[in-house]
Structure 1
Amino acid sequence: MVSPESFFHVALKVPDVDAAVAFYRNHLEGDLLEHEQPAEDATGAENVEHAALTVGDKRVYVFDRAPYEAAGLVDELPYGFLHFGYVVPDVEAAAADLEDHVRLVMEPTVFGDLKVAFFEGPAGERLELLESLD
């Protein structure tokens, strides 16, 4: 059984990151933590515009496309909900515990200072398990 340390974020794919940021700031009192544009020479997972906000006591990430989508690790995803993110102490161990019970969408992979893995829950919802490597 996997015991997440915390619920960390929800991630959304949106057609207009600026419009999503404005909505969450203006209508839900979201606090903008970061808003990054990809560098001109960015490729793969780095070629993504994203913003992070705190809404209430949780983070909301909005992307023009998911980093794992931009890296070619999954097929193109529709706009809307991308995944829930849960912090675990060991992504490899958590993935091993879950592999016989849910469908693995993406093997444990390192993105910057995180190791992440993605699964589908029983209704097809995507779950991200993330471990800080720093």
Structure 2
Amino acid sequence: MHPESFFHVAIKTDDLDASESFYRTHFDAAVVERGSAADGEGATAVNHVTLDVADKLVYLFDRAPYEAAGQVESVPTGFLHYGFVVPDVDAAHEELTGDSVEFVMAPTTFGDLRIAFLTDPDGVRVELIEHL
């Protein structure tokens, strides 16, 4: 599999405002988007702030989208996952599954994205992202 680009890092935080302020103050981050759990459902029912830091996105969540959707148990505060853009999530899933890579979430459509989550040998979550 050949990712097209590194897309983002996702972090679960206990205090969105404090985390946003930290990245804005110390890393010159710019706010790209804010979202409210009240405006979503399932995986989108999370409070979040998307930041542009250097040339990548940092997503700050009050809880992980896959946690909000009930796909995993509660996850601890801190690093959640990172994401790679791939040309075809289903093809990447098929290739990696054939190589015995463990997926924690099979390919699914999420708004205008096709996504899937796998874990590396140490259990770090990796998101594969296809822009539809």
Q: TM-score by structure 2 length?
A: 0.94
Post-superposition CA distance 1:5-55 (Å, at most 9, x none): 000000011111111111100111111111111226x43212100111111
For the aligned residues, what is the CA RMSD? 1.2
- Residue 24 (structure 1) aligns with: 23
Letter in 1 for 2:58: V
Q: CA deviation at 1:73?
A: 1.2
1:8 aligns with 2:14: no
Q: Distance in 2 between matches of 1:60 and 1:46?
A: 17
Return the offset for 1:101: 3.0
Partner of 1:54: 52
Looking at structure 2, the residues matched to 48 and 114 of structure 1 have their Cα atoms a distance apart, in angstroms, of 17
Where does residue 83 of structure 2 map in the other structure?
85
Q: Which has the higher helix share?
A: 2
Q: Give the CA deviation at 1:110.
A: 1.2
Instruction: Give the SS at the match of 1:39.
Output: helix
Runs of 4 or more, structure 1, over 2 Å off, are none
Amino acid at match of 1:25: R
Cα deviation per residue 1:51-95 (whole Å; 9 max; x = unaligned)? 111111111001011111101112211111111100001000001
| TM-superposed deviation, 1:103 | 1.2
Q: What TM-score comes out, normalization by structure 1 length?
A: 0.92
CA distance in 1, matches of 2:31, 2:38: 20
CA distance in 2, matches of 1:18, 1:104: 32
Q: Unaligned stretches of 5+ in structure 1?
A: none
